[in-house]
Amino acid sequence: MSQAGPFPAGSAAAGNELSPAQRSKIRRLSQQSEPSPGEDAGELNIIPYLDIITNILVFVLATVSVTFLTQLDTQPPSLGGSRVKQAPNPDALNLSVLITDKGVAFKTGFGSISTGCEGAGAGITVPMNGDAYDADSIKRCARKLKSEAGNGKFEDETQVTVTASRDIEYRHVIEVLDALRGDQQGELFPEFHLGVAK
């Protein structure tokens, strides 16, 4: 009679093979388990972050106000030119326009233009028309100075110096500049220099 060992009969240590159920259980326990979809080790899910950034960009682009700018071609005085200051041409019109809260005053190289653009004299050349500047009267006076003053010798002049009082809104300056650029007959004074009110 053989002596029984520490292992029960039928076990692998006793020299017997494992049963199919035991082998299946050992195989199942020794396999690596797949991580769940939200538990991928070492990977950062940035899709929600990109969704938020995309939505913010779309919102910002939709709410940005679009500004349309009007470009006015000017020729500002050049810096670093000759140190000798050239005197104004005495035979030129040398038109200057002053925009005030009472209207527009014209001045030439021969003196100030009177009210109504009737000749030399003091006063506001084109008074305010209610609360607005009278663009048609400004065009008529500029045309009269360009073609009639000096018997038409100022027809080739295109420059004007425009100065505005400190309390004048920028939109009124643009209205006067547009009126001085031209009329139905053609070009008036499209090249302007902006003066500084003292």
pLDDT score at 1: 44
Number of Cβ within 10 Å of residue 132's Cβ equals 9
CA pair distance 121, 128, nearest whole angstrom: 18
Report the Cα–Cα distance between both ends of the chain, in Å, rounded: 133
pLDDT score at 79: 47
Phi, psi of 179 (to 5 degrees): -65, -35
Instruction: Tell me which residue of 103, 85, 109 sits closest to 160, measured CA to CA.
Output: 109
Instruction: Output the tens digit of pLDDT for each of the chain's 198 residues.
Output: 444 445 455 554 555 688 888 888 888 888 776 666 655 556 778 888 899 999 999 888 888 766 555 555 555 555 444 444 455 566 677 888 888 888 888 888 778 888 888 878 888 888 888 888 888 888 888 888 888 765 667 788 888 888 888 888 888 888 888 888 888 888 888 888 887 766
Does this model's pTM top 0.75?
no
pLDDT score at 82: 44
Distances (CA, A) of 32 to 24, 26, 97, 98: 15, 12, 91, 90
pLDDT score at 56: 93
Number of Cβ within 10 Å of residue 98's Cβ equals 21
As given in the structure block, the two tokens for residue 114 are 């009177």
